[in-house]
Chains A and B, each alone.
Chain A
Amino acid sequence: MTRRSVVMAVFCTLLLALVVNFGLAPSCSRHETNDEGTPVDTEIMAFLSEARALHHEANMKEDSGDLAGAVSAMNRLVAARRPHPERKAPEVEEVLADAYARLAELRLKKGELDPAAAAVKSGLEHVAEATYFRGHLVEVQGLVEEARAAQLADAGNAAEAARARERAIQLLEEVVKIQEQVIQRSLGKDGG
């Protein structure tokens, strides 16, 4: 046995120890991170509290007729620092989708149809599955297209108005499908 083979034997033994160590470590330290979802923690609660405060601030602004102030509050919410950016928390994503929906509604009230549509588009990125949140966003999107059809009709652009109305009907039909899926899934869970 040469000196090189001796060194290789020692090296392989140490390498084996390391490999076994790394193999055991994840199984022994599996605690929270490998379970589904992040535990509800301080960061998530802080974000929810901030969202709640900004929603109520937007309420007061909206009640007083300050739509721009309400829009500003919602813009702050959708731009707020999000907890656990590496692992999306469903609550956070849904609250953001709802905030974008409200932002779209406020824009719609102000007659700002394109910003409203943009807010809906941003909100849909946070809810891919069929949920009340996605349904609500699509519903607002349908309302935006309905308002657009009315604007175009008032402007004498009958053809574009008809196309906008058609898009609105399609979106509202999609809302119906989404909500039916949600209800069906909810009933299935209750029954099962």
Chain B
Amino acid sequence: MSDRDDDRHEPDDLDPDAPATAEEVAASQRLRDALEGVSGASLDATPEVELALSLRAAWDPAPLSVDESRAVLDATPSADEQRLAAALRDALPRKHEPRTGDPDTAHLAQALRAAFSPKALGEAEHRAILDAALAKMPARVVAIGSARTRVIRVAFGVVTGGLALAASIVLVVTSAPPHGNEAPLAKARTTQPLFSEPFKPGETSARIDRIASARASDFRDNRFTKWGVR
């Protein structure tokens, strides 16, 4: 073992007879000051100090100060507040509208509940609302509104029909093939011009040869025309 290892100092926590350290002495002094009520001692109260104070208050409670007594009284509901709370508690479970004598808080609670989870109107209630609303509308206004509705319907029908007509015209015109500049296609027609004299026996295949050859030429021309080559 080296000299350097011998010089190393480690505290011996397990030794009960070991002298108190400076830190332990300071903590003990703070606890003593707090228990003796030294001014400023409880400002930096540690958990140990708070525990000690609580134990002493439980064991030997001191009288309340004036401020502390007033704070307790303020936290206690008055008789009037307790009556209002009871009224609200009784009004909330009811499903119907608050009664006249119910507190304002009951009306407010009912309105909040109706907004959050409204219930369906009854038939009689619905009818009553409608009757009340219609009773306020003069008969002349109703008649004018009806006539105006008819005018709007007619105008809508005419405009819709006009739009349909215009759309159909545009569709037809734009879908028509552009054939104005297109060369005419060779049509199927009699082959008589291919022959300059009456047929002779035994020349049938020669005739079909001539017909097929002539129409093959027409067919080629038609294809070129359709392709736009010509």
Given A6-B154, A17-B168, A52-B209, A38-B192 contact (CB < 8 Å): no
Q: In the bound complex, do residue B215 and residue A45 qualify as a contact, i.e. CB atoms below 8 Å apart? A: yes
With A13-B158, A95-B208, A101-B204 as known contacts, state yes or no: A28 contacts B187, CB within 8 Å. no
Q: How far is the CB of A160 from chain B (nearest CB, A)?
A: 26
Contact A39 B222 (CB under 8 A): yes
A window 59-93: CB within 8 A of B = 59, 89-92
Contact B215 A44 (CB under 8 A): yes
Q: Residues of B contacting A154 with CB < 8 Å? A: none
Q: Check A45–B216 contact: CB distance below 8 A.
A: yes
Q: Which residue of A lies closest to B176 (CB)?
A: A28
Interface: B62 (CB within 8 A): no
Report how far A136 CA is from B197 CA in the complex, Å: 11
Q: Decide yes or no: A44 and B208 within 8 Å by CB, A18-B168, A28-B176 being known contacts.
A: no
Cβ contact within 8 Å between B215 and A24? no
- Across the interface, name the chain B residue whose C-beta is closest to A105: B201
Report whether B186 and A40 are in contact in the complex, using a CB–CB cutoff of 8 Å: yes
Report the count of interface residues on A (CB-CB < 8 A): 56
Binary per-residue interface labels of chain B (187-220) against chain A in the complex, 1 for a CB within 8 Å, 0 otherwise: 1111111011011010011011101100110110
Docked CA distance A133–B185 (Å): 25
**B49-57, B130-138, B159-167: which one contacts chain A?**
B159-167
Does B38 have its Cβ within 8 Å of any Cβ on chain A?
no
Q: Please measure, in the bound complex, the distance between the C-alpha atom of A179 and the C-alpha atom of B197, giving whole angstroms.
A: 9
Q: A20-B168, A52-B209 given as contacts; is B187 within 8 A of A37 (CB)? A: yes
A37 with B188: in contact, given A13-B158, A29-B177, A31-B179 (CB under 8 Å)? yes
- For residue B27, CB closer than 8 A to chain A, the reply is no
The answer to whether B187 touches A9, judged by C-beta atoms less than 8 angstroms apart, is: no
Beta-carbon contact of A9 and B157 below 8 Å: yes
A94 at the interface (CB under 8 A from B): yes
Within the complex, which residue of B154, B164, B191 is in contact with A90, where a contact is CB–CB below 8 Å?
B191
- Which residue from chain A places its CB closest to the CB of B168 in the assembled complex? A21
Contact status B188-A44, CB under 8 Å: yes
Return the contact of B215 from the options A59, A91, A98, A133 (Cβ within 8 A): A91
Q: Which of A45, A55, A135 contacts B208 (CB 8 A)?
A: A55
User: How far does the alpha carbon of A38 sit from the alpha carbon of B189 in the complex, in Å?
Assistant: 8
The answer to whether B204 touches A94 (Cβ under 8 A) is no
Interface SS of chain A: helix, strand, loop or mixed?
helix
A40 near B190: Cβ-Cβ < 8 Å: no
Across-interface contacts of B195 in A (CB, < 8 A): 132
> Could you tell me the distance in whole angstroms from the C-beta of A140 to the nearest C-beta in chain B?
8
Beta-carbon contact of A52 and B208 below 8 Å: yes
CB distance from A89 to the nearest CB of B (A): 4
- Alpha-carbon distance between A39 and B224 when the two chains are bound, in angstroms: 13
A1 proximity list for chain B (CB < 8 A): 150, 154
Residues of chain B lying within 8 A (CB to CB) of residue A159: none
Smallest distance from the beta carbon of A169 to chain B beta carbons, Å? 18
- Least Cβ distance of A21 to chain B in Å? 4
Residues of B within 8 A of A29 (CB): 172, 175-177
Complex-state Cα separation, A98 to B201, whole angstroms? 11
The reply to whether B172 and A35 form a contact with Cβ atoms under 8 Å apart is no
Within 8 A of B (CB), among A120-153: 131-133, 135-136, 139
B83: Cβ under 8 A from any A Cβ:
no
B189 contacts A91, C-beta separation under 8 Å? yes
Bound complex: CA A94 to CA B184 (Å): 24
Given contacts A38-B188, A131-B192, 20 further A-B contacts (CB under 8 A): A6-B153, A6-B157, A20-B169, A21-B169, A28-B172, A31-B177, A32-B185, A35-B184, A35-B187, A39-B187, A40-B215, A40-B218, A49-B212, A90-B189, A91-B211, A91-B215, A94-B211, A95-B211, A131-B190, A135-B199
- A-B residue pairs, 3 tightest by C-beta: A13-B161, A37-B187, A10-B157
